[in-house]
Structure 1
Amino acid sequence: MMVRKRTRLAIMLSVIVLVPYYAFMMITAFSPELLSRPLAAGAVMTVGWPLATIMIVGAWMTTGVYILRANGEFDALNKEILEEASK
């Protein structure tokens, strides 16, 4: 049960990170003009920079979610399994 929960969480978080990442790479490869538009008239920063930053921060946040779950719920389940096995 614990392996299934942990695997499901890891797959879900991986999809949350990888789908936007690969979409960004595909846009960069096939339609770079979308990401090279300036944020505002006369602005130096393009649309691609904030999107890339959001993706990086999102990856860090999903890693944090996994760590919180691993240190909380999964460690508690692991402790229960070890206690039952030692009886």
Structure 2
Amino acid sequence: MSPEDVERIRQHPDFIQLVRRKQRLYWSLTALMLVIYYGFVLLVAFSPATLGQSLSGGVTSVGMLVGVGVVLLAFTLTGFYVYRANNVIDPLNEKLKQECAR
């Protein structure tokens, strides 16, 4: 592929839109996961008594519930990423590949 072809693709409106959508998705999910994770770490650091409280007098603590919640949120965000990649980013990528193959 020649440098002219590369530059033509880089200037293509669909390529610019693809890059923006991918970056917005990546950075927003990364920021959200960092907030969730570091929020949990800060809760452990500054309020361990809260996490150590028992749920309804049993052996399960609030910290276990919050930890499971963090893991479930990570799986949910991964599922959301896969959904958006398959339904938004991949079709735009295919459209761009077809147009640039001509």
Whether the TM-score (by the shorter chain) exceeds 0.5 is yes
Larger helix percent: 2
Unaligned runs of 5+ in 2: 1-16
Name the count of aligned residue pairs.
86
Match of residue 10 from structure 1: 26
Letter aligned with residue 81 of structure 1: L
Alignment RMSD (CA, Å): 1.1
Amino acid at match of 2:79: G
Residue 65, structure 1, aligned to residue 80, structure 2: yes
Once the two structures are superposed, the pairs formed by residues 32-71 of structure 1 within 5 Å of their partners are: 32-40=48-56, 42-71=57-86
For the residues of structure 2 that align with 1:31 and 1:72, how far apart are their CA atoms?
41
Query: How far apart in 2 are the matches of 1:30 and 1:69?
Result: 36
Normalised TM-score (structure 1): 0.90
**Computing the radius of gyration over CA atoms, which structure comes out larger, 1 or 2?**
2
Please report the TM-score for the alignment, with normalisation by the length of structure 2.
Answer: 0.78
Q: In the aligned structure 1, how far is the partner of 2:83 from the partner of 2:91? A: 12
Match of 1:19 among 29, 32, 35: 35
Q: Distance in 2 between matches of 1:33 and 1:70?
A: 40
**Share of identical aligned residues, percent?**
36
1:29-73 Cα offsets, whole Å, 9 max, x none, are 222111001112x21111011111111011011111111111221
Q: Flag structure 1 segments of 5+ consecutive residues without an equivalent.
A: none
Runs of 4+ off more than 3 Å: none
Alpha-carbon distance in 2 for matches of 1:39, 1:13 = 31
Deviates more, 1:53-62 or 1:68-77: 68-77
